Structure 1
Amino acid sequence: MPEGPSILLMKEDLRKFTGQKVTDTAGNAKFDKEPLEGKTLLEIKTFGKQTYLVFDEMSVRIHLLMFGSYSIDEQTKPDSSLRLALHFKTGAMYFYTCSVKMVDHEFLTAIDWEADIMSDIWDPKKAEKKLKLKPQMMACDALMNQDIFSGVGNIIKNEVLFRIGVQPESLIGNLPPKKLKELITEARNYSFDFLKWKKEFVLKKHWLVHTKAICPICGEKLVKKQTGIGKRRSFYCEKDQKLY
């Protein structure tokens, strides 16, 4: 599943179409696409793993889910995978195997934009307050909670917990205040490292534990385990990451 930094890169690719009118639509998303034709794409907004194509009276929400993808100017996958295509005078955008929905502007106003880990208005104090309300939540679930850390995915989760030396199944309420602040700070720090490395095509070279077998600190074998409510893969070192 693409994480917040990857969605920002997609936004950069799509941005060239802002200010342009939709000339044609296609795709098998289950809503009437005709109202989009002739409309001007006013803005592209992102919230964590979601992208919003904003028009005057409506917006299109794109969520790439686990296996979604996109392309610019050329359709690269078959019609059966094409959820939405928007054509403009200068090119087109295509979205495949993803969730595509129409939403109104009220929907956008209800979003807590300060929860977006990559946003300029990200509020770490608000994240801390939300975490303290869930003392029985595991650290792995907390980082993956999109209401608290919108945009954080499994890669960021694993790498952040290794950076701060916390085992995934640690309870939020058991973390010392310093560790709780480290968790919040590194969630944002690593997200921007992710973005930088992704742009340079070297992201995987910087993974310390995600999908790895050996701890880079002590050389012991890493634990690979499905953890938390979502049963997502965690990679961690029992020696260098403490269970709180």
Structure 2
Amino acid sequence: MPEGHVIHRLAERLTTTFDDRELEFSSPQGRFSTEASHLDGHRITLAEAWGKQLFIDVEHDHPEHIIHIHLGLIGGLGFTPYAAPTGQVRLRITDRITAADLRGPQWCRLITDAERDAAVAKLGADPLRPDADPDPIWTRVHRSGKSIGALMMDQKLFAGVGNIYRAEVLFRLGLDPRTPGQALDRSDFDAIWDELVTLMADGVRAGRIDTVRPEHTPEAMHREPREDDHGGEVYVYRRAAQPCHICTTPVETTVLEGRNLFWCPRCQGGN
């Protein structure tokens, strides 16, 4: 599932590509045809991300004028030069120069302003949004007996944070992912938040997740670059049984609340 930086990049791309242009909205697949017909010929006034959810506000007097998208596990929104659509395109947005084609989302629906507000109210603080307030999240984390590894995957707390950022931030800070939230102090939480803000913003700019410090890059360590579908240089994510870049201890993995968790037992466990 794409992490939050991907959705923020998509919001930026929609804005820069289609700014102030009358657009064609269609559903070549047919599953969003009625909704697309309401929007056809109108402009996008705002595209923004909240966590892993994308909201596209279309200039229209119809109450339902916001496209609400969640890509889920297999969804994608791709931009190509205008041509006939191929494959199962749920939604196409185009100015007949560029086409943005949405395929395989978990959901794509048309909602009202009130429904958007209700959806956003269910989400936690998004480290990529300048209006994010981490203080209420700290209160909930500090009261929880759940592990910080589990809490960081809760979208009602850390909106947009996924498995990669969770694993990498905790490694960079030397925190055991199994530590209960209530065992953390405020400085630990603030460090987690600051790392998320920095690393996720880097992800928006680069279009990939790189979390290793300069002294641990392939060039600096004279090692082969990482080969993985997710790309990017990381410390522990999907590196189970491989030596830690810092202490050479094999990276461990386990399943935590249905998701694979990766960590270094020495760098993060104090052993």
Indicate yes or no: 2:203 matched with 1:194. yes
- Structure 1 CA distance, aligned partners of 2:111 and 2:263? 39
Report the counterpart of residue 217 of structure 2 in structure 1. Answer: none
With over 3 angstroms needed to count, the CA separation of the structure-2 counterparts of 1:176 and 1:115, relative to structure 1, is closer
Give how far 1:166 is off: 1.7
CA RMSD of aligned residues (A): 2.6
> 142, 145, 157: which is aligned to 1:148?
157
- Structure 2 CA distance, aligned partners of 1:47 and 1:146? 10
**Could you report, residue by residue, the CA deviation over 1:161-205 in whole angstroms, capped at 9, with x for unpaired residues?**
101112222210122333233222222222123334436999844
- Given that residues 114 and 121 in structure 1 are in contact (C-alpha distance below 8 angstroms), is that contact kept between their aligned partners in structure 2? no
Report the counterpart of residue 235 of structure 2 in structure 1. Answer: 208
Q: Give the paired residue count.
A: 239
With over 3 angstroms needed to count, the CA separation of the structure-2 counterparts of 1:177 and 1:86, relative to structure 1, is closer
Report the counterpart of residue 117 of structure 2 in structure 1. Answer: 109
Report the counterpart of residue 9 of structure 2 in structure 1. Answer: 9
Identity of aligned residues (%): 22
- Given that residues 75 and 94 in structure 1 are in contact (C-alpha distance below 8 angstroms), is that contact kept between their aligned partners in structure 2? no
Report the counterpart of residue 118 of structure 1 in structure 2. Answer: 128
Report the counterpart of residue 28 of structure 2 in structure 1. Answer: 27
Equivalent residues in 2 for 1:44-193, closer than 5 Å? 44-55=47-58, 56=60, 57=62, 58-72=65-79, 73-74=81-82, 78-79=86-87, 81-98=88-105, 99-110=107-118, 111-112=120-121, 115-133=125-143, 135-193=144-202
SS of structure 1 residue aligned to 2:90: strand
Unaligned runs of 5+ in 2: 211-224
- Given that residues 5 and 118 in structure 1 are in contact (C-alpha distance below 8 angstroms), is that contact kept between their aligned partners in structure 2? yes
Opposite residue 207 of structure 1, the aligned amino acid is V
TM-score, normalising length: structure 2: 0.79
With over 3 angstroms needed to count, the CA separation of the structure-2 counterparts of 1:118 and 1:25, relative to structure 1, is same
Unaligned runs of 5+ in 1: none
**Could you report, residue by residue, the CA deviation over 1:4-24 in whole angstroms, capped at 9, with x for unpaired residues?**
111122222222213222334
Give how far 1:3 is off: 0.8
With over 3 angstroms needed to count, the CA separation of the structure-2 counterparts of 1:4 and 1:205, relative to structure 1, is closer
Opposite residue 168 of structure 1, the aligned amino acid is P
- Structure 1 CA distance, aligned partners of 2:77 and 2:186? 41
Give how far 1:77 is off: 7.5
- Given that residues 124 and 158 in structure 2 are in contact (C-alpha distance below 8 angstroms), is that contact kept between their aligned partners in structure 1? no
TM-score, normalising length: structure 1: 0.87
Opposite residue 159 of structure 2, the aligned amino acid is S
- Structure 2 CA distance, aligned partners of 1:164 and 1:29? 48
With over 3 angstroms needed to count, the CA separation of the structure-2 counterparts of 1:45 and 1:88, relative to structure 1, is same
With over 3 angstroms needed to count, the CA separation of the structure-2 counterparts of 1:14 and 1:181, relative to structure 1, is same
With over 3 angstroms needed to count, the CA separation of the structure-2 counterparts of 1:200 and 1:46, relative to structure 1, is closer
- Given that residues 214 and 222 in structure 1 are in contact (C-alpha distance below 8 angstroms), is that contact kept between their aligned partners in structure 2? yes
Give how far 1:142 is off: 1.2
- Structure 1 CA distance, aligned partners of 2:174 and 2:53? 30
- Structure 1 CA distance, aligned partners of 2:259 and 2:82? 34
